[in-house]
Amino acid sequence: MSEQSQKTSNELPPKLMGEVEVVVKEKKLNKANAEKLLERIKLEYAKSKFEPAESIGIIAAQSISEPATQMTMRTYHFAGTAGIRVTYGLPRLIEIFDAKKEPETPMMTVYMKREHNNANDAAKLAEAIIEKRVVNVIDKISINLNENSVELEILDKRKSDSIEKVISGNIKNVTVKGRESKIIVSMKVEDIKELQKLKEKILALQVSGIKGIKNALVRKEGEDWIINTIGTNLSDALSIKEVDEKKTYTNSIHETATVLGIEAARSVIIREALRTMQEQALDIDVRYVLLVSDIMTFSGDVSSIGRYGVAGAKTSILARAAFEETIKHLVRASIRNEVDTLQGVFENVMIGQVIPAGTGMFDLIVKPDEEK
């Protein structure tokens, strides 16, 4: 270890130092006492560190999975509950650590900028961001076979113009005409099937709102008016001028990673995992979750804990083969002439040797020449 890192590793993290300073000020300690306090804290801090060769990975895994087994027993008791279904409990925890591309119930928490932080603006925004498709704004839709056209009856006549624009803007080779409460979309076709396809296409067109936002509810949280959404689209939400881009948050790890970067994704993993545990009144130390989230994100991409992620990235062939897809790993290793150096824990358990962890990490080295 270099002298510099040796020095810093014995020092306290800035946050803890700040706390010490506050205490010193409040208790009006003199310099000698303050020094004494600092020494004592340093000692305690050093004591709470992990020892070399301690298997923190396994301890972290056990510390998370033990309360998780408690969850299995509780989670399914909520079967058949009506209302907004949110994935929580064990299924959500699995989702987080498996790094699923899309959460089962994607959600955003949208915060308002200070000048828009009021009920009115929030309600307006909530209404505006809900995704609306043509299906949601029409009364009737029918196919007119005589004129080769699709006829729409609009619920709110004032919106006719905008809907017409959307249709003509998104579908090619059609003529759009508005007549009283009707919009007639006609097309030159040879087959009726194409009209049917056109109808489907029109119905699926987005009229207003943000893509992917299925619902939005305004809620007051302390001083803040926030909007909870079902469905998530972080990049579009952040580009709205009333939205506070510093606080707005989505529960989708991958979306956060693409929009805000890997550090943000790491915080989402930590936040979501901890929240899921705390919802069930289970308490786990943050450090275990920190470790897991670090492992999941340190490569720069979000990788899952499992066969295609962290476990699949192990260096040892035997350890990978022992986990999942045994044959795949063995055959691949054989073709590529790979070498297993037997330096990991699992390989050594397998061959019946002392594992390089805990007391097995160290060897006694005697240098008889230097005894004098």
169 binds other proteins (CB under 8 A): no
Pairing of strands 107-111, 138-144: unpaired
Which amino acid, 208?
Answer: S
61 binds other proteins (CB under 8 A): yes
360 binds other proteins (CB under 8 A): yes
261 binds other proteins (CB under 8 A): no
CA–CA gap between residue 89 and residue 70 (Å, rounded): 10
Contact segment (CB under 8 A) with other proteins among 21-29, 83-91, 166-174, 359-367 equals: 359-367
CA–CA gap between residue 240 and residue 232 (Å, rounded): 14
Report in angstroms how near the CB of residue 263 gets to other proteins at its nearest. 30
Report in angstroms how near the CB of residue 327 gets to other proteins at its nearest. 8
DSSP run (H or E) holding 351: helix 345-351
Considering only residues 83, 352, 366, 369, which one is a binding residue for other proteins as defined by CB under 8 A?
Answer: 352
CA–CA gap between residue 116 and residue 243 (Å, rounded): 8
Binding mask 17-56 for other proteins (x = CB under 8 A): ----------------------------------x-xxx-
305 binds other proteins (CB under 8 A): no
Phi and psi for 222 in degrees, rounded to 5?
65, -120
145 binds other proteins (CB under 8 A): no
CA–CA gap between residue 9 and residue 5 (Å, rounded): 6
Contact between 85 and 191 under an 8 Å Cβ cutoff? The reply is: no
CA–CA gap between residue 193 and residue 174 (Å, rounded): 16
- CB neighbour burial string for 208-231, b if at least 16 within 10 angstroms, e if fewer: bbbebbeebebeeeeeebbbbbbb
136 binds other proteins (CB under 8 A): no
Tokens matching residue 358: 């805990």
Using CB under 8 A as the binding criterion, the count of chain residues that bind other proteins stands at 28
CA–CA gap between residue 243 and residue 252 (Å, rounded): 18
345 binds other proteins (CB under 8 A): yes
Could you tell me how many residues make up the chain? 372
339 binds other proteins (CB under 8 A): yes
Closest CB to other proteins among residues 164, 347: 347
62 binds other proteins (CB under 8 A): yes
240 binds other proteins (CB under 8 A): no
Contact segment (CB under 8 A) with other proteins among 24-32, 91-99, 274-282, 331-339 equals: 331-339
Considering only residues 43, 58, 155, 192, which one is a binding residue for other proteins as defined by CB under 8 A?
Answer: 58
Contact between 238 and 249 under an 8 Å Cβ cutoff? The reply is: no
Report in angstroms how near the CB of residue 66 gets to other proteins at its nearest. 10
Q: Which residues bind other proteins (CB under 8 A)?
A: 51, 53-55, 58-59, 61-62, 327, 330-331, 333-334, 339, 345, 349-361
